[in-house]
Amino acid sequence: MKNQAVVMTDTRVFEIQDVPMPEIGDDEVGIAVKDVSICGSDMHFFDGGAYSIFPKETALPFVLGHEVGGEVYAVGKNVKNVKIGDRVAVEPGVPCGKCDYCRSGRYNLCPDVVFLATPPVQGALKRYISYPAHSVYTIPDNMSTMEAALCEPLSVGLSAVRTGEVTVGSSVVILGGGCIGLCTLLAAKAYGATRIIVTDLFDFHLEKALELGATDVVNSKNEDAVAKIQELTGGKGVDVVFETAGSPYTAAQTSEIVGRGGTIIMVGNIMQETPFSFRNMYKKGATLKSIFRYCNTYPIAIQAIASGRIDVKKIVSAEFDFEHSQAAFEEATDNKVNCVKAVIHVE
């Protein structure tokens, strides 16, 4: 077997390089990567935006990709949970398992987590990788490895919805109709939300939101989103507001949109200073929460997809083969108006 990796050698420059086959430890599995979907953080590295956190001089050369589905081709001698030939979803964060956060079940907060495609940890956009067996999950026959890769963004949506305690009859607003916004929509619908309002700047994203089950959409470029949501809800606001766009502008809207006794969930990654009216929030008795990645969601994501309750593959808007990874990243990064999620088929 011959291994290759898509290596970022400079900003927006990829090279397909021959790399060694991975060594398989006693508690690891060897995975033939089948699908890698492109995350917003991958694009942040690709276009150079991540250099403010990870200096270019030390980050490059670098392999991206942490949303992974594949097939097991080798197992270490201690591995019992998977076998050769199993198709798997790969959870990209490997916690230490020893700290207080891990021991309490909140392993997403582990300060020593090893996360794929986060320097100095190389990513998974390769033909073959090795990985700790306890962080891979077998998928059933009726589920594709592309859907396995999409368990990662869906897990963010599931974590957001669980944190917001969405249930049958809940009304929600999702600020941002990109990949994470749409995964939050899918999760909210699966958990029973009956009023789902999505805002975004692009009609393509809003049309996709309606296709996936949104009851109302608002183009916030063309109209006042806060005023429109007040109109749609009779001035009451909604039970749960999800900020998924990662924008200071939408973050500021959350306290205006949430209803009395409602909950605001901060999901997006906001790097700039953000105006926020705490008065709006406390005079409504609202609650403000945030999520960081996810924990204990992969089994739920797999069950939801395999059962047909969540059709996550509908968020995919572009597909490329391994040799055209450069084009895949250019499409995902430069065509955000029409591209929600791009997927690279490795084999």
Of the candidates 174, 165, 163, the one whose C-alpha atom is nearest the C-alpha of residue 214 is 174
* Cβ atoms 298, 278 nearer than 8 A: no
Taking only the tens place, the pLDDT of each residue in 89-123 is 999 999 999 999 999 999 999 999 999 999 999 99
pLDDT at 1: 86
Please state the rounded mean pLDDT for residues 173-186.
97
Q: Is 10 left (phi over 0), alpha (psi -120 to 50) or beta?
A: beta
Residue 262 dihedral angles phi and psi, to the nearest 5°: -85, -175
Q: What is the pLDDT of residues 232-250, one digit of tens each?
A: 999 999 999 999 999 999 9
User: How far apart, in whole angstroms, are the C-alpha atoms of residue 1 and residue 4?
Assistant: 10
pLDDT at position 160: 98
Whole-number pLDDT of residue 147: 98
User: CA-CA distance, 295 to 105, in Å (whole number)?
Assistant: 8
- Per the CB < 8 A criterion, the answer to whether 275 and 201 are in contact is no
Q: What is the pTM of this model?
A: 0.96
Q: Tell me the two tokens of residue 22.
A: 């991975």
Region 308-312: mean pLDDT is 97
Q: Which domains does the chain have, with CATH numbers?
A: 3-150+316-345 (3.90.180.10), 154-290 (3.40.50.720)
Segment 123-133 shows an average pLDDT of: 98
Element at 336 (helix H, strand E): none
Count of helix runs (H) and strand runs (E) in the chain: 12, 18
Question: 126 forms bridges with which residues in the sheet?
Answer: 5
Residue 340's pLDDT band, with cuts at 50, 70 and 90, is very high
pLDDT tens digits, 5-40: 999 999 999 999 999 999 999 999 999 999 999 999
